[in-house]
A = this chain, B = another copy of it.
């Protein structure tokens, strides 16, 4: 790797990193490409040498998010173990303030208004729909009697909503302790009371 290529990659990641913060804090429309460039210490014009336009920069982040946050299916895994792994992964990521954890919050916000930004973003989010991807695990768990009865998609959405909702609150609040993983799993678990 030449010196030029090295700096190219570094700059590109630096821009992505700063842009991620801005998109989280101000949203898509509230984010200014000029201010991103300013914070990166480069001219506004140079930004468009790395990314053709603002939307492409945003879409790059969504694309990275889709790659990084993909769940590995875990062949033949027990349903409850699968969801336990999901919670564990979130809890391990939530406390840090690195790229991954910010990306997590970002993707949650993207999910809310993906369709208002671009068709490409909407489609990426559709293809990377963790909620529907987890439905088979719910159904399997229901057959085994370890997951409560009810519409599988709704259960899945509620489970991930609780994680996502908590992650968002975590950004806004300081000094908030982390929940136990059982608290999330209680949403899904069959209580065997009847």
Q: Contact at A179–B150, with CB atoms within 8 Å? A: yes
Chain A 160-191 interface 0/1 with B at a Cβ cutoff of 8 Å (1 = within): 11111110110111001111100110110101
> Copy number in this complex?
2
Considering only CB atoms, which chain B residue lies closest to A122 in the complex? B172
- Contacts A26-B27, A150-B179 given: A112-B171 contact, CB under 8 Å? yes
A172 CA / B122 CA spacing, docked (Å): 11
**Majority-rule SS of A interface residues:** helix
Q: Chain B residues with Cβ under 8 A from A184's Cβ?
A: 158, 187
Say yes or no: B161 contacts A168, CB within 8 Å: yes
Residue of A113, A116, A171 ringed by the most chain B CB atoms within 10 A: A113
Nearest residue in B to A154 (C-beta to C-beta)?
A: B177
CB distance from A111 to the nearest CB of B (A): 6
Residues of chain B within 8 A of A161, CB atoms compared = 161-162, 165-166, 168-169
Q: Which residues, 70 to 129 on A, are CB-close (under 8 Å) to B?
A: 109, 111-116
